[in-house]
Every structure is written in C-alpha cells, then in structure tokens.
Structure 1
Amino acid sequence: MQDTIRKAELGDIPRIQELCAEIWDGGDYIPHVVSDWIRDPEGDFCVVEVMDDGPDEHTGLGVPNGRPARAGHIATLGKLTILNGQDGWLEGLRGNTEYKGQGYAQKLTSYFIEKARAR
C-alpha cells in the first residue's frame, strides 16, 4: 500500500462523513464543519490517503499495469491551524478503524508538528 498526506478536498466530504459516522455513535462534529475546514485559509485540513493495490472488493480482480484496483481510502485526517502567527492548534484527528495500528495517525501528527515548527 502506498500513502500520501494531502489537503482535504470537497470531493473527500462523503468519505470523511462515512469515517466520522462511526465515531461517538454518529455524534461527531466534523461532518458539520468539514466544508468550512476545507476552505479555511488559516488551517491545513489534511488526510492520509491510502492507495490499496489489492483486488477489487466487488470483482476480486486486480487492475492491470500495476494501477490500484481500489484507491483513495482515507486512513486518517486532522487539522492544523496556526493562531496568532505562532501557536499551533491540532484538532479533529480521526482514524479509520480499517487502518488502526498501521502508523498513519502518527505519520499525520508528525507531519503537522514539523509543519508548525517550520512556521
């Protein structure tokens, strides 16, 4: 599996809502703020996207040429906002239970810490 940390996009909203539906019995606040977070110029709302090159979950067949059969699973997400030009505020860290224990949340947290230090 290959993973990428990238900014969340409006097209990610359905997958983010699906991930958050399992949190706090569906009472997570993130589905209510996700559009604002994506558009927030002061914040970095990011996802770790996992490209799974395994068999297609519907057909059981892989895709030729080494391209992923299933792509774009969100393993974890979170938001970093720099306040007052110097203080970093990390919020909304969520993890997909399918990827629990695989280090994606730690990878995203480390990314945010390094990004905050660089400012």
Structure 2
Amino acid sequence: MGGAMRGLKLRDARNADKKVVLDFCRNTWPGYGDFIPQVWDRWIRQRRGRFIVAELEGQPVGIAKITDFGYGEIWLEGLRVDPRHRRKGIARAINREVLRTLKLIKPRVARFCTAQSNRASRKIGSQYGFSVIARFRYYWDEPRRGRISGEVVG
C-alpha cells in the first residue's frame, strides 16, 4: 500500500483507452458488470468536468469522472482500478488528482455515492473530508409467478 506507485501517470482519458478500461471494468459487480460501457462515449465527449485515467507503463489501470452540473455542483463517479493493480495506492493517487482539479474548479459542493459495503471508497472519502448525508437500502425481488391483476386501486 503506502504511496502511489512509481511511474503512475494521471492524465485525461482518450478514446484509445476504451478497450483496456472496459475490460478491467467488466466484472465490477458480479452478475451485473458495470455501467461504464454505457457512459464511456458520453464521458469522453463532455467538456465540463474531467475524465481522468491513471496510466502505468503505458496502460490504463484506473479511472475517475468529475461531472460538472453547473451552478457550482460537482458529481464524482466512476472510480475504478484494475483488479490486478488494487491495493497499490492508485485509487488514492486518482483521488488526489480529483481534489487538485476541484481546487481549480472551486465548486460550491461535491458529492459522490457508494455502496455501504464499499469500505475502501468510504474510507478514502472520509479521509478527504466527505461525510455521509444519506443512506439508501437497495431492494430487489423477482415478481411472483401467476396472473397479474388488471385491477386498479385508487
């Protein structure tokens, strides 16, 4: 762990990074995958905010997105590190670059959302001054088999 890896370069994302990044994001959430393939092209085109890549030995090993909604509101999203390079300080280095960028943008507020179970992300967030403002429960259920009633109540 410790500091960022020697030779780690932080830069803006490029179209040429897409294949490598989508490959290491493929199994972010087992059984679901990741939303990065659905947003990649839009993120690359956006001019407000910043799409950051962490590169090691010429290959992308991590990403993060700063989305600027305007009116001083920033949304931080898409922090990912290649599973083969986790626990090496890459997420921390990316977050330092995010904070450096935020100091230039000077937003009124910056927010992010993460799963309660994502201890690493929550820890990094608290170390950089973020606090929990809301908690949500995720619920999923399969519909029961059988006939669906056409009855409307109300």
Category of TM-score, reference length = shorter chain: 0.7 to 0.9
Contact 1:81 1:90 in 2 (8 A): yes
Contact 2:62 2:79 in 1 (8 A): yes
Aligned to 1:3: 8
Distance 1:17 1:103, change over 3 A: same
In the TM superposition, what is the alpha-carbon distance from 1:34 to its structure 2 partner? 0.4
Aligned pairs, how many? 99
Greater helix share, structure number:
1
Contact 1:47 1:76 in 2 (8 A): yes
Q: What is the TM-score when the length of structure 1 is the normalising length?
A: 0.76
Aligned to 2:37: 31
In structure 2, distance between residues paired with 1:39 and 1:16 = 16
Equivalent in 71, 79, 84 of residue 98 of structure 1 = 84
Q: Are 2:48 and 1:42 aligned?
A: yes
Q: Which amino acid aligns with 1:42?
A: R
In structure 2, distance between residues paired with 1:8 and 1:108 = 12
In the TM superposition, what is the alpha-carbon distance from 1:49 to its structure 2 partner? 0.3
Aligned structure 1 segments of 4 or more residues deviating by more than 4 angstroms:
none
Root-mean-square deviation (CA, aligned residues, Å) is: 1.4
Q: What is the TM-score when the length of structure 2 is the normalising length?
A: 0.60
Greater strand share, structure number:
1
In structure 2, distance between residues paired with 1:32 and 1:24 = 15
In structure 1, distance between residues paired with 2:49 and 2:20 = 20
Q: How does 1:1-119 map to 2 (within 5 A)?
A: 1-25=6-30, 27-51=33-57, 72-119=58-105
In structure 1, distance between residues paired with 2:53 and 2:7 = 14
